[in-house]
Amino acid sequence: MELTGSQIVIECLKEQGVDTVFGYPGGTILNIYDELYRHPEIHHILTSHEQGAAHAADGYARATGKTGVCMATSGPGATNLVTGIATAYMDSTPMVAITCNVGKALLGKDSFQEIDIAGVAMPITKYSVIVKDITVLADTLRRAFTIAKSGRPGPVLVDITKDVTAATYEYEPKTPEKIEPFTERITEEGLDHVVSLIQESKRPYIFVGGGSIISGASEEVRELAHRIQAPVCDTLMGKGAFPGTDELYTGMLGMHGTKTSNYGVTKCDLLIVLGARFSDRVTGNAAKFANNAKIVQIDVDAAEINKNVVVESSIIGDVKEVLKRLNARLEPMHHDEWIAEIEAMKEKFPLKHEEGLTGPFVIEEIYKATDGQAVITTDVGQHQMWAAQYYRYTSPRTLLTSGGLGTMGFGLGAAMGAKMGRPDKTVINIAGDGCFRMNMNELATLSRHNIPIIEVVVNNHVLGMVRQWQTLFYGKRYSNTVLQDQADFVKVAEALGVKGIRVTKKEEMGPAIREAIEGGKPALIDVWIDCDEKVFPMVPAGAPIEDVFDAEDLAKKEQEKD
């Protein structure tokens, strides 16, 4: 059948099973929006800003495992997607961004709202292309979805000239290509080598990253840990791949990881790394990372092997598929002495915080009120680290946060996407006041579409993490990090159609979060905490992870100076 380019776009989305799109219309993409009007089966969420649409598509993908879709018009509409696309790229999120450009005849003439968005997005996408010929439109869109989801997932951008959206061409429906796990490079020799390293180990440690969640390997990770009796730590992106309530779990590793995880990885003789890329925030001084251990790295992306840390052995392939084969080769093992040593560290170095209305206390109250079953999104900063430390994630795709790019303003859009993808779940975004200022306009999106998420603003009236660094390493010179102005977030929320609640006392937090959950409507909770609260434990930038310190260590150091 002969269809317009706009009709082909919509039919291709339907082919791929797309049920939700986030976006913002404009001149060059009007033909597609006009066709979208005729297809209520595709739910379109009109965001307040294109960046919010990109983050929402990202959050939808992270929460569901499906490919997120966002749309924008040419020029500034397209460039406003860039931060969201880069965020998805750094965290390996499958996303397809569809933009439209000026007509082919106007390209290269500095036409109104013309930009080479395919060129702009090239370094932050798996694939970026402009479609100037309707005969390749359908196949290009199909290829975009395949690329976004296959291997190591990531975002793809398809830019379409306006004349292509109006032209007509023969369209034939196609069943989407089935994407199989990547297993071509898994070898018997590689598996046997890893098995022998595990069998020889006396102090094994498992380190879980976001790749374990992407591959759906949670069950296999649990089986491996208990089969070989090894403690487990994780990255920020790996939260939920291994239950935070399991007795073998020791907490996050790295700059704000637990002392147990940092000391344990330093002492172990074998580190089994599952879908993690050795970020600098994890390794600290990479040259001194896990120097007592042989390192095994299992990852779908060959480019990550030996990139940041040199490893003893590696297997390139889908983590779930690799672990299935490894577990089948391994007999149950016991490392009672090693586990006892780890348990002693857990008892000696528990996560702890001061009394009162603190950031960690806020997270603990959210955990209690949700019974640990919510989908938590965050922005970036101190609140993000507290959410990673004090909320115990027991299943994958329940912490959605910007790990690689560290995007302030990510959380609210991501929460919208998560709720659209998982309407059965309570979805809570935890933000700092600095981050909230970057995306507070999306509260209007919540009220417009009645998306019942809860925005918790951990409000210390400063840029908390930057201030923490200024306190510890910059002589308390608080250059441009104080936000003591007249902004009233409760009034902002109410003005945009969202219920606002302020919390200034410890005993108010639990009732506030329960009220927001039971209300079933969009809500904001503005929680005031002290401006000098800090995230501990902490490793100084560039130091080895065993140099981790907490508030007590800092106090002792100050006493020694005196």
What is the amino acid identity at position 285?
Answer: N
The 10s digit of each residue's pLDDT in 445-502 is: 999 999 999 999 999 999 999 999 999 999 999 999 999 888 999 999 999 999 999 9
**Dihedral sign for Cα atoms in the order 176, 164, 79, 453:** negative
Whether residue 79 has pLDDT greater than 70:
yes
Nearest-angstrom CA–CA distance, 154 and 148: 5
Domain ranges within the chain, ordered by starting residue: 2-170, 188-348, 359-536
Q: Which residue is associated with the tokens 């990673």?
A: 388
Name, in order, each residue with C-beta under 8 angstroms of 427's C-beta and a sequence gap of 6 or more. Answer: 374, 375, 376, 377, 415, 418, 419, 453, 454
Angle formed at CA 421 by CA 420 and CA 424, multiple of 5 degrees: 85
Q: In angstroms, rounded to a whole number, what is the distance separating the alpha carbons of residues 261 and 223?
A: 20
Amino acid at residue number 530? D
pLDDT given for residue 550 in this prediction: 95
- Top CATH class of 359-536 equals alpha beta
Per residue in 177-188, pLDDT (tens digit) is 899 999 999 999
- Over residues 250-281, the pLDDT tens digits come to 999 999 999 999 999 999 999 999 999 999 99
pLDDT at 484: 83
Question: Looking at domain 2-170, which of 3.40.50.970, 3.40.50.1950, 3.90.1150.10, 3.40.50.1820 is its CATH number?
Answer: 3.40.50.970
Nearest to 368 by CA among 426, 422, 414: 426
Q: How much is the pTM?
A: 0.97
Q: Catalytic: which of 50, 220, 304, 364? A: 50
Is residue 465 flagged as an active site residue?
yes
Q: Which residue has the tokens 């913002």?
A: 24
Reduced 3-state DSSP string for 416-454: HHHHHHCCCCCEEEEEEHHHHHHHHHHHHHHHHHCCCCE
pLDDT at 420 over 90: yes
CATH of domain 188-348: 3.40.50.1220
Which one is catalytic: 14, 15, 66, 113? 113
Share of the chain above pLDDT 90, in %: 98
The active-site residue, picked from 126, 149, 162, 534, is 162
Classify each residue of 224-247 as buried b or exposed e, where b means 16 or more C-beta atoms within 10 Å of its C-beta: bbeebebbbbbbbbbbbbbbbeee
Say yes or no to pLDDT of 148 above 90. yes
Q: What is the mean pLDDT of the chain?
A: 97
Any catalytic annotation for residue 90?
Answer: no
What would the mean pLDDT of 354-383 be, rounded to a whole number?
98
Q: Active-site residue 162, yes or no?
A: yes
Cα distance between the two ends of the chain:
83
Q: Is residue 403 pLDDT above 70, yes or no? A: yes
Would residue 50 show up in a list of annotated catalytic residues for this protein? yes
Catalytic residue among 345, 465, 509, 538: 465
pLDDT at 302 over 90: yes
Closest C-alpha to 532, from 425, 455, 460, 479: 460
**Whole-number pLDDT of residue 373:** 97
pLDDT band at 558 (very low <50, low <70, confident <90, very high): confident
Tell whether the model's pLDDT for residue 559 goes beyond 90. Answer: no
Average pLDDT over residues 147-161: 98
- Tell me whether domains 2-170 and 359-536 share a fold: yes
**pLDDT over 70 at 562, yes or no:** no
